[in-house]
């Protein structure tokens, strides 16, 4: 046995059952009360504490564990470091629109630097839930609708969080969540029922988790939701069969907040004791705040309902993690470090770069953008125009308003002093106050161009913030229509935590920039993009519906037996196809879509491997040309379709992407190499297979366009 394993066995042999259960217990100090929490730590009844910030507070608890408890086992300190710690980056959905895993990794690493310097050992991130329903507020926290892109982002974040050379000398462990399929909540309502097939679970929802574990993620969080009748936090299929046996995951399984307690509301446990029994037997190692293990696990063992070996294995995993993080050697955090590490200028610069690369140009029909430098009078209107709070997005935690730049600040910094910038809020976000429509119209009329900054507040997405209506909240649509009616050239900067439903805006406003909730540098990033100091290059990672009635609308849908074929209905014209009588099938903006200030053309698709073996590599190339008059970045995407399968296959699936930068008039050959083993799915026996046969392949600028070719997979 190696040294850590010997140490673990030594500790286990000295531990009482209560101390073992302690290692399987995570508490929140404010929930149990500080005196009681400290007493429990002293008695060895706590393995981990969550949601606690600041090295001095954390050291104080750690000292009790290390110096005051019988065995001196250090605590694991867990926090939600979702898109930055103090240097707040764009929300993860926005970050994914960079299609730049390297950049996303750098952002995660900065978050890890700051969090570790302030005493955090464990981040409850990345959130890797695939989501195809923008009503769900937590779509903000993930990487959108696609498992391939989701897996790439999951890997990037794990690499960034678990970097082994942080300034603090400490390490951070990541926690992919919410395992599993939380993003498939019915009707987009948070915490709602999930009832999907095992095939969809394996083909769509599990790949980003598997990718995160392949990258070395040390822990995982079991979700709140049920999956086909069995709550995830008591679900042996996902926690034991898939996680432990198929994937061989060696790390720690922690539940989501009180998820063991919620087994009672789910109606699969009569009381907390039965809930504890179900969870531990299914494979949950650590109980987040339910105190189900704390109160009942020892009795369950004494009564023979839970084998001691199950407890011992869970404790081994927790101790192994603590040893791997170096907590036994370095339990305390240098209290002077945070002020040196937090908000370093280089971090603020990186936050700006990520924000710039995450904002999606949705429309620019009259080439209003970038702004004409000759403009002398600009009106800046809207509830988010001078906002210093909502741009932080959901889960900003210790992020501060004072660290942010608003769009007004950003524009003031980049516009020539000779440009007159008139600012008016016009209305509030939610519609609580009377809007000043008159004033807005007046300010717009007095200007040569108006920029409206509209959208959602940070409190309109994230956990427990699902929406049934996805238009502009409050009086913002009225404000928009008022300003548009003045006839002034109009640019809308949209901020939100999800795809919105904006058919009127898409029709009537010539230029729309989707800025999401872009973090502390969002205002400057918007300004840089609007004046053309930098070019927009981001592309959507979730489809934007035309109407809530289309949801779920996603590109990788199935064909059905009655495929619509074209873009969608012309009202009542094509009955008996899979469509609506009153709306088209396609989304307003498809997955992968986003414009640049320049333009790109695709030509000369070549399938270099028209026949490729099961263990081979598909090679496809195409020429991409910059046909505009500015340098720009294009995100080139590769999709495939397996034309005939033993089970139905999606009409398109992303299997590759590359970002290329091109000067005007220049072109380049983009070459994709896709291992054929990545083209598989789960068959009737739930085995992962790649089946020989014909495939279509596309190389294009988004999921709805592209050059098409064919190839064959042969035995
Ligand atoms: C959320 C998790 C989070 C946890 C701890 C829960 O309510 O669902 O995403 O990590 O709280 O804060």
Structure confidence by residue, pLDDT tens digits, 609-644: 999 999 999 999 999 999 999 999 999 999 999 999
Answer yes or no: is pLDDT of 570 > 70: no
Decide the pairing of beta strands 287-288 and 490-495.
unpaired
Taking the C-alpha atoms of residue 235 and residue 137, their distance in angstroms, rounded to an integer, is 24
**Ligand 1 center from residue 126 Cα (angstroms):** 12
- Three-state DSSP string of 331-346: CCCCCCHHHHHCCCHH
- Nearest one of 284, 285, 207 to 247, comparing CA atoms: 207
Mutate which of 49, 76, 80 for ligand 1? The one with the most ligand atoms within 8 Å of its CB, which is 80
Q: Note the pLDDT tens digit of each residue in 380-436.
A: 999 999 999 999 999 999 999 999 999 999 999 999 999 999 999 999 999 999 999
Which protein residue has the closest C-alpha to ligand 1 atom 5?
Answer: 257
Known catalytic residues are 256
Q: What percent of the chain has pLDDT over 90?
A: 96
Give the nearest ligand 1 atom to 178 CA. 9
Ligand 1, atom 11: nearest CA belongs to which residue? 257
Q: How far apart are CA 461 and CA 480, in angstroms?
A: 22
Dihedral of the alpha carbons of 278, 280, 285, 288, in degrees to the nearest 10: 40
pLDDT confidence of residue 571: 55
Task: Please say whether the beta carbons of 261 and 292 come within 8 A.
Answer: yes
Tell me the C-alpha distance between 100 and 546, whole Å.
27
Summarize the confidence of residues 666-685 as an average pLDDT: 98
- Using omega within 30 degrees of 0 as the cis cutoff, is the peptide bond preceding 681 cis? no
Tell me the H-state helices in 446-549.
Answer: 476-485, 503-508, 522-531
For ligand 1, the distance from its centroid to the CA atom of residue 209, given in whole angstroms, is 17
* Strand-pair partners of 641: 696
Of 159, 162, 143, the C-alpha closest to 151 is: 143
Choose one of 91, 115, 124 to mutate for the ligand 1 pocket test, by most ligand atoms within 8 angstroms of C-beta: 124
C-alpha of residue 224 to centroid of ligand 1, in Å: 10
Mean of pLDDT values over 63-87: 98
Which of ligand 1's atoms lies nearest the C-alpha of 141? 9
Q: pLDDT value at position 682?
A: 98
What is the structure's pLDDT at 576? Answer: 85
**Ligand 1 centroid vs 257 CA: distance in angstroms?**
6
Distances 194 to 157, 221, 242, 279 between C-alpha atoms, Å: 26, 17, 18, 18
Q: Whose CA is nearest to atom 4 of ligand 1?
A: 257
> How far, in Å, CA of 175 to CA of 124, rounded?
5
Counting ligand 1 atoms within 8 A of each CB, the residue from 78, 180, 219, 257 with the most, and so the one to mutate, is 257
Per-residue pLDDT at 564 exceeds 90: no
Quote the pLDDT of residue 369.
Answer: 98
CB of 281 within 8 A of CB of 244?
Answer: no
pLDDT of residue 572 exceeding 70: no
Distance separating alpha carbons of residues 525 and 519, to the nearest angstrom: 10
Give the model's pLDDT for residue 575: 77
Residue 577, pLDDT score: 87
- Supply 40's token pair: 């429990």
> Quick count: other Cβ atoms within 10 Å of Cβ 663?
11
Q: What is the pTM of this model?
A: 0.98
| Averaged pLDDT, 240-250 | 98
- Among 256, 286, 462, say which to mutate for ligand 1: greatest number of ligand atoms within 8 Å of CB: 256
Residue 566 has pLDDT above 70, yes or no: no
pLDDT tens by residue, 160-215:
999 999 999 999 999 999 999 999 999 999 999 999 999 999 999 999 999 999 99
Shortest-distance Cα residue to atom 7 of ligand 1: 257
Q: Which amino acid residue places its CA nearest to atom 6 of ligand 1?
A: 257
Please determine, for residue 569, whether its predicted confidence score (pLDDT) is greater than 60.
no
The backbone torsions φ and ψ at residue 57, rounded to the nearest 5 degrees and listed phi first, read -60, -45
The overall average pLDDT reported for the chain is 97
User: First vs last Cα of the chain: how many Å apart?
Assistant: 44
Closest Cα to atom 8, ligand 1: which residue?
256
633 beta partners: 661
Give pLDDT, residue 3: 87
pLDDT at position 115 is 98
Q: Does residue 140 contact residue 93 with C-beta atoms inside 8 Å?
A: yes
Alpha carbons within 13 A on the beta-carbon side of 448 = 11
Cα(142) to ligand 1 centroid in Å equals 14
**418 is written with which tokens?**
């000779």
d(CA 494, CA 707): 31
**Helix, strand, coil percent values for the chain (each to nearest 5):** 35, 20, 45
Flag whether pLDDT at 573 surpasses 90: no
Strand ranges in 215-271 using DSSP code E only, listed in sequence order: 219-222, 226-227, 230-231, 252-255
Residues with CB under 6 A from ligand 1: 50-51, 80, 124, 177, 256-257, 463
Which residue, judged by its Cα, is nearest atom 10 of ligand 1?
124
Q: Is residue 292 classed as helix, strand or coil in its secondary structure?
A: helix
CA diameter of the chain: 81
Candidates 579, 468, 547, 552; CA nearest to 196 is 552
Q: What pLDDT does residue 395 have? A: 97
pLDDT of residue 231: 98
Ordered alpha helix ranges (H), 455-567: 476-485, 503-508, 522-531
């Amino acid at each position: 046995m190696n040294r850590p394993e010997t140490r673990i066995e030594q500790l286990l042999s000295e531990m009482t059952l209560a101390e073992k259960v302690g290692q399987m217990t995570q508490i929140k100090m404010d929930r149990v009360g500080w005196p009681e929490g400290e007493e429990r730590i002293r008695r060895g009844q706590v393995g981990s504490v969550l949601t606690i910030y600041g090295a001095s507070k954390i050291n104080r608890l750690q000292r009790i564990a290390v110096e005051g408890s019988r065995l001196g086992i250090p605590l694991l300190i867990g926090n939600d470091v979702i898109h930055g710690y103090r240097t707040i980056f764009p929300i993860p959905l926005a970050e994914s629109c960079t299609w730049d895993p390297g950049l996303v990794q750098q952002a995660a690493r900065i978050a890890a630097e700051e969090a570790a310097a302030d005493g955090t050992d464990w981040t409850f991130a990345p959130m890797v839930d695939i989501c195809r329903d923008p009503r769900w507020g937590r779509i903000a926290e993930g990487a959108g609708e696609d498992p391939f892109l989701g897996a790439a982002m999951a890997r990037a974040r794990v690499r960034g969080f678990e970097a082994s050379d942080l300034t603090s000398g400490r390490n951070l462990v990541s926690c992919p969540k919410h395992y599993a399929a939380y993003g498939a909540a019915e009707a987009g309502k948070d915490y709602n029922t999930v009832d999907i097939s095992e095939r969809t679970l394996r083909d769509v929802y599990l790949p980003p988790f598997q990718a995160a574990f392949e990258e070395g993620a040390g822990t995982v969080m079991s979700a709140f939701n049920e999956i086909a009748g069995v709550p995830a936090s008591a679900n042996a299929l996902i926690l034991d069969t898939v996680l432990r046996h198929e994937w061989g995951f060696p790390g720690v399984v922690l539940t989501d907040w009180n998820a063991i307690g919620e087994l009672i509301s789910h109606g699969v446990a009569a009381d907390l004791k039965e809930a504890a029994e179900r969870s531990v037997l299914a494979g949950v190692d650590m109980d987040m705040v339910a105190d189900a293990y704390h109160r009942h696990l020892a009795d369950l063992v004494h009564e023979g309902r839970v084998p001691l070996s199950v407890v011992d294995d869970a404790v081994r995993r927790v101790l192994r993690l603590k040893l791997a993080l170096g907590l036994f050697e370095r339990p305390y955090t240098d209290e002077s470090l945070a002020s040196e590490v937090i908000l370093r200028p280089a971090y603020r610069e990186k936050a700006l770069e990520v924000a710039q690369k995450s904002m999606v140009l949705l429309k620019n029909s009259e080439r209003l953008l970038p702004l004409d430098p000759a403009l002398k009078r600009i009106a800046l209107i809207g509830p988010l125009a001078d906002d210093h709070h909502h741009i932080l997005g959901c889960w900003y935690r210790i992020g501060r308003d004072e660290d942010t730049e608003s769009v007004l600040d950003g524009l003031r910094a980049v516009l020539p002093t000779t440009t007159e910038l008139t600012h008016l809020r016009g209305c509030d976000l939610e519609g609580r106050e009377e809007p000043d429509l008159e004033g807005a119209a007046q300010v717009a009329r007095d200007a040569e161009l108006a920029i409206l900054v509209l959208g959602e507040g940070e409190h309109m997405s994230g956990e427990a913030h699902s929406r049934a209506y996805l238009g502009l909240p409050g009086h913002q649509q009225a404000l928009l229509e008022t300003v548009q009616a003045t006839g002034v050239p109009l640019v809308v900067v949209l901020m939100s935590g999800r795809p919105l439903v904006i058919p009127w805006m898409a029709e009537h406003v010539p230029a729309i920039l989707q800025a999401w909730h872009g973090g502390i540098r969002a205002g400057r990033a918007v300004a840089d993009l609007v004046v053309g100091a930098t070019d927009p290059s981001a592309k959507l990672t979730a489809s934007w519906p035309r109407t809530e009635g289309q949801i779920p609308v996603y590109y990788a849908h199935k064909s059905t037996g009655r495929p619509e074929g074209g873009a969608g209905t012309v009202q009542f014209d094509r009955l008996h196809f899979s469509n609506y009588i009153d709306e088209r099938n396609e989304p307003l903006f498809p997955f992968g879509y986003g414009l640049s200030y320049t333009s790109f053309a695709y030509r000369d698709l070549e399938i270099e491997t028209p026949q490729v073996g099961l263990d081979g590599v598909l090679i496809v190339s195409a020429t991409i040309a910059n046909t505009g008059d500015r340098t720009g970045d294009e995100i080139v995407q590769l999709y495939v379709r397996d034309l005939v399968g033993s089970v139905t296959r999606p009409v398109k699936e992303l299997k590759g992407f590359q970002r290329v930068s091109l000067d005007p008039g220049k072109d380049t050959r983009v070459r994709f190499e896709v291992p054929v083993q990545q083209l598989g799915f789960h068959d009737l026996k739930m085995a992962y297979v790649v089946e020989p046969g014909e495939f279509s392949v596309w190389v294009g600028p988004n999921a709805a366009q592209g050059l098409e070719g064919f190839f064959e997979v042969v035995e």
